[in-house]
Structure 1
Amino acid sequence: MRFSDFQLLAAGQTLSWVGNGFQTVALAVAVVLAGGGPGDLGLVMASSIVARLACTLFGGVWADRLQPQHVMVGSDLVRLLAAGGMALMFFSDSYHLVLLCALAAISTGAASFFDPAFSSLRPLLVPPEKRQSANATLSMLQTGSQIAGPALGGVTVAAFGASAGFTVNASSFLASMVAALLLRVRAQRGERSPMLAELAAGWREIAKRDWLMFGLFGATVYHIANGVILVLVQVVAIERLGGPSAAGFIAAAEGLGGVIGAAIALRFKPRRLLRAGWLTLLLMPLWALAYVWPAELIAVIAGAIIGYAGLIFFDVAWETAIQDNVPQRMLGRVSSWDYLTSFLAMPVGNVLAGPLSAAYGTSKVLTTCAAILFLSAAAQFLVPGTRTLTRGPHTDAPAPGRPPELAESTGA
């Protein structure tokens, strides 16, 4: 049986996403059991954030310079070696904070090259009319993996130790790398320019489209407010709603909501998809406000399902709009600017959560941030392109750079 390029990519990425859940659990357990505590874990996480911010834009340039799957293979290889190094460190009981921070930074830096290449590759694997379905399928797989990965990782780490979790993650990168190597699709690539010129060209591509530029600005504000919320709701769940078990139920509800949102995106295909996406994002404040009133676990669970369904539908709409309207040769750079706004804004919100809640109280801060979520999404309807952007009629021609015979065998 010959698998399509999309099926190969989906299988490889699902295994990689599940493997990342193993490393998330293994890292926290390994550092704490080694005597590192919150301070060491915070430094490791900070190293990852710095690497992400430093590498993301350059990752977008290289995704547009090379065949995207080649960038993905290189990234997976580096991450495999980094995860293997972590496994070896904790298996041999030779904990070194500086080395762990370096390995975490190397792994995250490599991921900063993988993500734009992945975004650049996706629209090449399916005909244009199937892009929304393909994006919804990948979102569903990713959301499900984010539930299954940590759950399986927790069982594995509890039974066999943290080094086993890192080993599983390393193996998942190997699976992703093999899948990328088997892809037959080829992207068209032009002449190279100096690095800074190519970065600037990516931003100019964004500035040409009002819905994209103002969408990125709105997302930056959104992510700062959401970064505050994500910290405070954990505290509320543990202190007021039932402790760790409540936090677990809420996390499961968020995952369920994401799967529902992706499933809706598989079926509901309006011509003004981007406008529908921003409308569904208006549901997210309900999740945050449920922690304030009625502040009951069942209400928070319901809000999580509804809010995250809207969030994932929006993600599918946003990715599809970019794929439909940005030239494929620029997708890596445009995606890297998109990733940068998210990764830059979220830690800012995380840092602000503590001081703001101490100064004004958790409930007031959550209510204000929920209002910011709503306004940052609602403001997009003032942008003409957001209101009018439509998905045009598609042909059955293969996407650029795809051999014609692959168009028939590829499905979402």
Structure 2
Amino acid sequence: MVFHQDDSTSATKPAAKGMLHLFRVRNFVLLFSGQTISIIGDALYAVALPWLILTNGGNAQELGIVLAAYGIPRAASMLVGGWLSDHLRPRQVMLIADAVRLLLMAVLAALALEGHPTLWQLCAIAVPLGAFSGAFTPASMSIVPDTLDSEDLQAGNGLMMASMQGASLVGSAVAGVVVAAFSAGMALAIDAATFLVSAFSLVLMRTTPRVTASTQDAAPSEEEKPAASFQEQIGFWQYLGSSRLIQTNLLFFVVSSLIAGGLIEVALPALVHGPMHGGASNYGAILASWGAGALGGSIFAGTLGKRKHKGMLVLLGGLIVSVMIALLPIGGVYGAMACMLIGGIANSGITVLLFTAIQLSIPSHLMGRIMGLLMFSSLGMYPLSVALAGILSNQFGPALLFPVGGLVLGLAILFCMTQKAMRDI
């Protein structure tokens, strides 16, 4: 990971020529292709599992139990996955996780195709499936800096996020067709096959030495050598205690996680079904608007290149997201679609810029653990968020949660603006 780029080195090294330039990097092409296929499979699973449960005598409570059996170990295993990424390398962790999930998904597909899997069977598969998915997440966030040079990292993150959003949209549409035309079991079988594709793409990637400040910088000055050596030797807790950038983002991710999960998963469908008098198609259209915006925002952020004042762009984008959340109940379904579209553009753009800055700041030997901690703070609050949103929606109505959530998020952004480490990104 590059912490300093010597002027003479950067002068001789060609700049990244847009996002398409990255498709000449063999390892990145393999990673991009495999993960795109895998995300399509994830979308198939997200549609097929609820349909499997609800059409085989199950109810919303049983669906919630299975989702909890998946979600809790997923959050808990992110920290372990980060530690493993630093000790086994991200590619190995991803490969192991894909192989295990391939087997688990194949068993689930077989149970679905043969008959009616019971609740305990679904939970027995959901627990390890969630655990290995959680371990996979920080590894997948750590492998891009191992694959690309620092000058291409922002464009690479933009492409990976654009792939995630586009594949999710395509996968959701394909899932509906497959489940309707065949069965939920067939969709799950296809998901299992996507894990095989992802694992095969990882196997084909060439092993590269982990990039560090000392190996990347051609000729560091005498003043730079002690700093580079310190970065290589610093421990996890020492780095965490000294990095204001990571500390600030940990707090921000916890706040945003508490707000986002409950608003999207609980308050939004309640708002559409209740005050907006809409149906499932309206809810889907609103979510699709966010996905479309996120796709565009990812591509835009990836093409920005080495612009100044990215920190202020990140913070401004965060304020735009908070305003869109607050305004979402106003204007009915179409107003909500517009808010989600704009919010998706801003959120995805700031995510690419922010994670690129974070990745460039983390010593390479700590990349997995720090990413695991950030992912845990981002996703670990999900169970509490949805529970709070359910209680508050019943007490005060879903519409009130959006301006309150937007206000809390806005205050968190304003706090981030007071931190020099954020402004200097």
Code of the residue aligned with 1:359 in structure 2: it is Q
Of 262, 265, 268, 1:233 maps to: 268
Contact 2:269 2:283 in 1 (8 A): yes
Post-superposition shift, 1:166?
0.7
Post-superposition shift, 1:2?
8.5
Alignment of 1:379 onto 2:415 = yes
After TM superposition, list the pairs within 5 Å mapping 1:216-227 onto structure 2.
216-227=250-261
| Partner SS for 1:352 | helix
Contact 1:228 1:369 in 2 (8 A): no
Alignment of 1:54 onto 2:90 = no
CA shift digits 1:156-187 (9 cap, x unpaired)? 01111011111111000000000101111334
Alignment of 1:346 onto 2:368 = no
Post-superposition shift, 1:369?
1.0
Post-superposition shift, 1:201?
4.3
Moved more, 73-82 or 217-226: 217-226
Of 111, 123, 128, 1:106 maps to: 128
1:26 alignment counterpart: 48
1:167 alignment counterpart: 189
After TM superposition, list the pairs within 5 Å mapping 1:71-90 onto structure 2.
71-90=93-112
CA shift digits 1:204-247 (9 cap, x unpaired)? 42332112111111220121122232121111123315212211
Post-superposition shift, 1:378?
2.0
2:38 alignment counterpart: 16
2:6 alignment counterpart: none
Cα distance in 1 for residues equivalent to 2:240 and 2:172: 36
Post-superposition shift, 1:58?
0.9
Contact 2:47 2:176 in 1 (8 A): yes
Contact 1:258 1:312 in 2 (8 A): yes
Code of the residue aligned with 2:105 in structure 1: it is A
RMSD between aligned residues: 1.9
CA shift digits 1:246-282 (9 cap, x unpaired)? 1121112111110111121022232332332222121
Code of the residue aligned with 2:352 in structure 1: it is V
Contact 2:328 2:339 in 1 (8 A): no
CA shift digits 1:141-164 (9 cap, x unpaired)? 101111111110111011110111
Post-superposition shift, 1:39?
1.6
Cα distance in 2 for residues equivalent to 1:382 and 1:48: 37
Cα distance in 2 for residues equivalent to 1:300 and 1:169: 31
Contact 1:44 1:100 in 2 (8 A): yes
Contact 2:179 2:186 in 1 (8 A): yes
Of 286, 290, 293, 1:257 maps to: 293
Code of the residue aligned with 2:239 in structure 1: it is E
Alignment of 1:267 onto 2:331 = no
| Partner SS for 1:35 | coil
TM-score w.r.t. length of structure 2? 0.85
Moved more, 117-126 or 331-340: 117-126
Quickly say closer, same or farther: Cα 1:206–1:314, change in 2 above 3 A: farther
| Partner SS for 1:110 | helix
| Partner SS for 2:380 | helix
Code of the residue aligned with 2:268 in structure 1: it is V
Moved more, 71-80 or 297-306: 297-306
Post-superposition shift, 1:326?
0.4
Contact 1:69 1:121 in 2 (8 A): yes
Post-superposition shift, 1:314?
1.3
Cα distance in 1 for residues equivalent to 2:209 and 2:83: 14
Cα distance in 1 for residues equivalent to 2:382 and 2:72: 13
Contact 1:189 1:329 in 2 (8 A): no
Cα distance in 2 for residues equivalent to 1:267 and 1:189: 24
1:36 alignment counterpart: 58
CA shift digits 1:7-62 (9 cap, x unpaired)? 10000000000000111111011111221211211111001122113211111111
| Partner SS for 1:283 | helix
Quickly say closer, same or farther: Cα 1:344–1:93, change in 2 above 3 A: same
Contact 1:236 1:291 in 2 (8 A): no
2:114 alignment counterpart: 92
TM-score w.r.t. length of structure 1? 0.88
Of 102, 107, 115, 2:137 maps to: 115
Contact 1:224 1:349 in 2 (8 A): yes
> Size of the alignment, in residue pairs?
379
Cα distance in 2 for residues equivalent to 1:171 and 1:159: 19
Post-superposition shift, 1:122?
0.7
Alignment of 1:132 onto 2:154 = yes
* Seq. identity, %: 27
2:313 alignment counterpart: 276
Quickly say closer, same or farther: Cα 1:321–1:241, change in 2 above 3 A: farther
Quickly say closer, same or farther: Cα 1:281–1:241, change in 2 above 3 A: farther
1:324 alignment counterpart: 360
Post-superposition shift, 1:388?
1.9
In the TM superposition, structure 1's runs of 4+ consecutive aligned residues that sit over 3 Å from their partners are 187-190, 200-204
Code of the residue aligned with 2:27 in structure 1: it is D
Moved more, 335-344 or 284-293: 284-293
Code of the residue aligned with 2:293 in structure 1: it is G
Code of the residue aligned with 2:67 in structure 1: it is M
2:163 alignment counterpart: 141
Of 386, 391, 394, 1:355 maps to: 391
Cα distance in 1 for residues equivalent to 2:209 and 2:71: 30
Quickly say closer, same or farther: Cα 1:201–1:43, change in 2 above 3 A: farther
| Partner SS for 1:95 | coil
Quickly say closer, same or farther: Cα 1:363–1:3, change in 2 above 3 A: closer
2:3 alignment counterpart: none
